[in-house]
Chains A and B, each alone.
Chain A
C-alpha cells in the first residue's frame, strides 16, 4: 500500500521498476508531465488515476479531482492543458445518480478550467472491486511560452514560493471518512492552478526554475524530491508556511505534520531571488493567489535534504513521508 502513497516507496517503485523497463535509458528526471515533439510541435502529456474514499467530500468530489489533478500536473510542468481523455472503472451496482453527479462535476470542472474532454472509455468490474468508482484522466497540453522547468537549473539563493495554505485536502478527506469524532469547517482545496501558474510565468518566467503540485506526500515529499534532484538543500521557515487553524488543530490532535498532508489546489515554485518579489506580487494579484508567499530558500547545505527552522531558533529535518500518515495515540 505504501507504494501508492506518494512518498519514498512510490518513488522507489517508479525509479527501480517502471522507469528502467518502460522509459529505456533516458536520463531525464522524473517530472509531473512529459514534454516532447510531434512533427516539430512541442506537446506535454500526463496521466493520473484517481481513487478516493469517500467519492464526494466538502469542497469537491472524485470527478473534480480527476480534471484538476491532470490540469495541475501539466501546469506545473509548464504546460497549458488543451484536452483530456477519461477512463471510468465502475463497480457493478453503482447507483446511476452517483455516476451522473460525477460526470456532471467533470464537465463543469473542465469548463471552468477551460479544457476539452475529447474521449474516453468505460469498464465495469464486479461489485466491491473498485471502491465504487475509479477515474483515470490523460491530459495533453501545449508548453507555456518562456517557461523551462528543470531541477538542475535550481541554484543556492533561489526562493521557495508556495501558493497557499497546506493540508486542506488531506485533512478534509480524513474527516469526511467519518472515522474521527471531530468536525471542522474545512473544504478540499481542489482547483486548477493553471491561472496562478500563468500569472507567475508572465511576471517571472526567466527566473522560474521548477514547479510541483504537492499532492500525496505533501509539501515535504515534493521538496525532498527537489532536494535530491538538484543536489542542494531546501531551508524552510516554519512560521511563514500558511496552515489554517483547523488543519493545524487536527494535525496537533492526530500527531501529523501538515507538510505531509496532501493538497489538490496548491503548487510550489522555485524562483531566482531577483524575480521573487515580482513572482509574489503577481500571484497575490491573481484571484485565489492572495495567500502565496515565500516560505524558504535553496541552500548549499544540507545537500539533498529539507531543513525547517522554527521561529525561536530550533530546527529539524523534514523527510519524505513513509507510507500513509498514521495518527498517534498519546
Chain B
C-alpha cells in the first residue's frame, strides 16, 4: 500500500534501530515524551519498544483529546441528547467514554438517538437529511480537528441551516505541553512532537520549548520509520548538547502551518479564559469556544447546559498517567477495576489512550517477559 509500506520497510527499520543503539550513551537514561496519543498508539501497535535499547524510556503525553476531557463535559453533552428531537453525533472515539450515567453508546442502547460520524461535515449532512430534528455535534480534538469543525460551522451559517449546532470541546496543544513542563515531578530530556496537530499550527509554536526549556523537539510522523528516525534526530541533538525544533514529518507538516485552517479557526472560535482538563486541572487559555457571531450554531449558547462537574474516582490516577509521572500499569486500578470493558478513566477507552494501548498490546507481554527471565 503506497505511503504506508515505504515507512514500514523491515530492512530500513532494522538499520534505523541499529543506528539508535549506536547513538545512545549506555551510561545515560533517556526520557523522551511523545506528546500525541497517535504516537502512543503507534508505539504499542508496532511494538517499537522491542526495538529500542532499555535506557530509552518513552513517556506518554497528554495528546489524546478524548482522555483529557473531564467527565462532566460528556454528561453535559449527553444532557442535550435527552431531548427526543435531538440527534447526538460524535466521533467513534467518544462512544465508549464513560460519563457519570454511562457512555454515549450506553445512551444509544437506552434508545437515545446517538450517531457515529466520521467528520463534522457528516453531522451537517445529517441535519440536512433531518430538517425536523436538531443535530448536536459533540466536537473534540486539538488543532487537528478544530479547523474542520470551524469550516462546517461556516458552511452551516452560509447555508442558513438552523437545525445544527456544535458542542465545542476543542483544546489547544501548547498549553498542555506547558502544564507538563510546569509539573515539578516531571523530568524530561526531549519531546517527540505531535504530527497531525503540527500540520495545522506548524513548527514555530514549539520554539519556546527549545529557547526557555532547552529541550529538543522533533515533530514526527506515525509510521515505525518516522518514529525511529525522530528518535535518531533527538539523540543527535542530545549528544551534541543542542536544543532545536526539527521537522521529521516534512511530507505532511509545513514549517509555517496551514494558514487557511488557522484562519477558519479564528473566524469561528476564540480562546476560553480557562478550561478543565482531566488530570491536569484548569489550564488558562487552553481551549476554544464558539464566537458570539456563531452563537446560533453553538449548542452551549442555544441550549441549557447543566454544567456538570464530576470528580474522578479517588483511586484512579489518570492525572499522573496523563502527565507521564506514572506508567499505566503503575496505577492502582489498572487491569483490575479499570479495563477496556469496564473503563473508569478515558485513558482506558480511546485507542490513543496510553492505558488502553498498554492493556491491549503490552501488559500480558510484560508478564510473559517476567516469566521468561525471572529476576535473580
Contact = CB atoms under 8 A, between A and B. Distances in A.
- Indicate whether A and B interact: yes
Interface residues of B, number: 54
Contacts of A315: 47, 50, 365
B96 A302 contact: no
A315 B363 CA distance: 12
Interface string A296-328: 000001100101011111111111001100111
Contacts of A248: 1, 4
Contacts of A9: 341
Interface in B115-165: 116-119, 122, 140-142, 144-145
Interface string B1-42: 100100010100110010000000000000000000010010
A174 to B, nearest CB: 10
Contacts of B91: 327-329
Contact of A317 (B50, B51, B144, B361): B361
Interface in A31-76: none
B92 A323 contact: no
Given A9-B341, A252-B1, A313-B51, A1 B108 contact: yes
B50 A313 contact: yes
A119 interface: no
B122 A179 contact: yes
Contact of A305 (B17, B340, B364): B364
Nearest to A249: B1
B93 A314 contact: no
B4 A252 contact: yes
B44 interface: yes
Interface string B84-105: 0000000111011000000001
Contacts, number: 122
Contact of A310 (B1, B47, B140, B365): B47
A223 to B, nearest CB: 14
Nearest to B48: A314
A120 interface: no
A180 interface: yes
Contact of B118 (A180, A319, A322): A180
B97 to A, nearest CB: 11
Nearest to B228: A312
Interface residues of A, number: 36
Nearest to A7: B341
Interface of A: 1-2, 8-9, 179-181, 233, 245, 248-249, 252, 254-255, 301-302, 305, 307, 309-319, 322-323, 326-330
Interface of B: 1, 4, 8, 10, 13-14, 17, 38, 41, 44-51, 65, 91-93, 95-96, 105, 108-109, 116-119, 122, 140-142, 144-145, 196, 224, 340-341, 350-352, 359-365, 367-368, 371-372
The 10 closest A-B pairs by CB, nearest first: A314-B47, A326-B92, A312-B13, A316-B361, A327-B92, A302-B368, A312-B10, A311-B10, A315-B47, A329-B91
9 contacts: A233-B368, A254-B92, A312-B10, A313-B14, A314-B50, A319-B340, A327-B93, A328-B350, A328-B351
